[in-house]
């Protein structure tokens, strides 16, 4: 009898511990998240500031390692990078939602700078052989803009330096770098690449950065995953509805240097939440510009996570 009672007590203890573990794991606030410490991280800033120990911000070049390590429950990363790794079997992360729709801008110190000013001019882009460069070249061509020549620098920080040092330069840069440049030189003006992209495709921006969920987490905890996605949607909505709140969170997390820069830069980051399935048509449109950036083909059906 004593053995039976002891066995029952053990079972109750195991069940109790299991229930506690599931209870903790099922809380969407307990998910771990990795993101690059740039503009896409702003989409999560109001969530991260409440629970910073669950959020890891890394350099952009470290994101591939985050996919390979597969320790985070969610990852924010360039959409095409996540798709390419998934197709190659180097990632188990599925697309949950697109959160960034193009933070790229053409900019110059030239007076009256406009899209037409790029015809017959030298233009400096950043990120040769990247999806951003491919989209920029596509948008220029589709709008009938033919530069005299196109050269490349490594990143937006490099083109920002050129923008500030050469009054005749025309560059591709990104928010928040553009806002920082304007604060240093009031002659700097720019217009969004999204304007040209919309003229060419009818789409208000291109799917640039996305939120990915690890496949086993999505399969084992669908309710918690869906609850977290709702929190992300609300955080993204704040990027338009309450810029000050997002700016303050971003500065607290050291994602941006100060509230003044943040409040001016956030609107240009095109942050909005679109579930994977709803974004598919726009994803395939962008992928078609340069399939090599997506692993040579359109993402497969199982790449897209859809709430159950």
Report pLDDT digits (tens) over 153-210: 999 999 999 999 999 999 999 999 999 999 999 999 999 999 999 999 999 999 999 9
114 and 191 in a single domain? The answer is: yes
pTM comes to: 0.90
The pLDDT, as a whole number, for residue 60 is 87
pLDDT, residue 9, reads 40
How confident is the model at residue 26, as a pLDDT? 65
Percent over 70 (pLDDT), the chain: 92
Whether residue 67 is contained in a domain is answered as yes
Q: What is the pLDDT of residues 66-125, one digit of tens each?
A: 999 999 999 999 999 999 999 999 999 999 999 999 999 999 999 999 999 999 999 999
CATH number for the domain harbouring residue 276: 3.40.190.10
Residues 126 and 193 reside in one and the same domain: yes
Same domain, 97 and 218: yes
- pLDDT of 38 reads 87
CB atoms within 10 A of CB 19: 10
Q: 3-state SS of the chain?
A: CHHHHHHHHHHHHHHHHHHHHHHHHCCHHHCCEEEECCHHHHHHHHHHCCCHHHEEEECHHHHHHHHHHCCCCEEEEEHHHHHHHHHCCCCCEEEEEEEECCCEEEEECCCCCCHHHHCCCEEEEECCCCHHHHHHHHHHHHCCCCCCEEEEECCHHHHHHHHHHCCCCEEEEECCHHHHHHHHCCCCEEEEHHHHHHHHHCCCCCCCEEEEEEHHHHHHCHHHHHHHHHHHHHHHHHHHHCHHHHHHHHHHCCCCCCHHHHHHHHHHHCEEEEEHHHHHHHHHHHHCCCHHHHCCCCCCHHHECCCC
List the domain range (segments joined by +) for residue 237: 29-101+207-294
- Residues 204-225: what's their mean pLDDT? 97
What are the φ/ψ torsions at residue 191 (nearest 5 degrees)?
-140, 150
Predicted confidence band at 50 (pLDDT cuts at 50, 70, 90)? very high
Check whether residue 163 and residue 214 sit in a common domain: no
User: Same domain for 266 and 278?
Assistant: yes
Single out the residue in 201, 230, 265 at which a domain terminates.
Answer: 201
Q: How many domains does the chain have?
A: 2
Domain assignment of residue 3, yes or no = no
Confidence band for 16, pLDDT divided at 50, 70 and 90: very low
Residue 13 has pLDDT above 80, yes or no: no
What pLDDT, on a 0 to 100 scale, did the predictor assign at position 308? 72
Instruction: Examine the domain organization and report whether 110 and 194 are in the same domain.
Output: yes
- Give the residue from 201, 224, 254 where a domain finishes: 201
Band (pLDDT 50/70/90 cuts) for residue 5 is very low
Q: Mean pLDDT across the chain, nearest whole number? A: 91
One domain, residues 55 and 189: no
* Whole-number pLDDT of residue 307: 81
């Amino acid at each position: 009898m004593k053995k039976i009672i002891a066995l029952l007590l053990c079972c109750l203890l195991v069940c109790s511990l299991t229930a506690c573990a599931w209870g903790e794991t099922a809380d969407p606030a307990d998910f771990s998240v990795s993101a690059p410490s740039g503009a896409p991280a702003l989409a999560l800033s109001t969530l991260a500031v409440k629970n910073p120990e669950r959020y890891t911000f890394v350099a952009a070049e470290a994101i591939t390692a985050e996919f390979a390590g597969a320790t985070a429950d969610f990852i924010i990363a360039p959409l095409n990078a996540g798709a390419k790794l998934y197709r190659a079997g180097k990632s188990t992360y599925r697309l949950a939602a697109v959160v960034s729709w193009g933070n790229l801008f053409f900019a110059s110190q030239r007076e009256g700078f406009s899209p037409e000013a790029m015809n017959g001019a030298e233009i400096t882009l950043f990120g040769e052989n990247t999806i951003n460069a491919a989209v920029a070249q596509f948008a220029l061509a589709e709008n009938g803009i033919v530069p005299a020549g196109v050269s490349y620098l490594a990143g937006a920080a490099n083109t920002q330096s050129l923008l500030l040092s050469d009054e005749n330069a025309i560059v591709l840069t990104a928010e928040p770098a553009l806002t920082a440049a304007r604060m240093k030189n009031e002659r700097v003006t720019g217009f969004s690449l999204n304007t040209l992209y919309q003229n060419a495709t009818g789409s208000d921006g291109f799917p640039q950065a996305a939120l990915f969920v690890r496949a086993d987490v999505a399969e084992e905890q669908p309710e918690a995953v869906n609850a977290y996605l709702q929190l992300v949607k609300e955080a993204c909505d704040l990027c338009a509805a309450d810029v000050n709140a997002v700016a303050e969170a971003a500065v607290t997390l050291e994602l941006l240097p100060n509230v003044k820069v943040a409040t001016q830069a956030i609107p240009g980051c095109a942050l909005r939440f679109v579930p994977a399935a709803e974004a598919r048509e726009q994803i395939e449109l962008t992928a078609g510009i340069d399939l090599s950036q997506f692993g040579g083909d359109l993402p497969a059906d199982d790449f897209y996570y859809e709430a159950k």
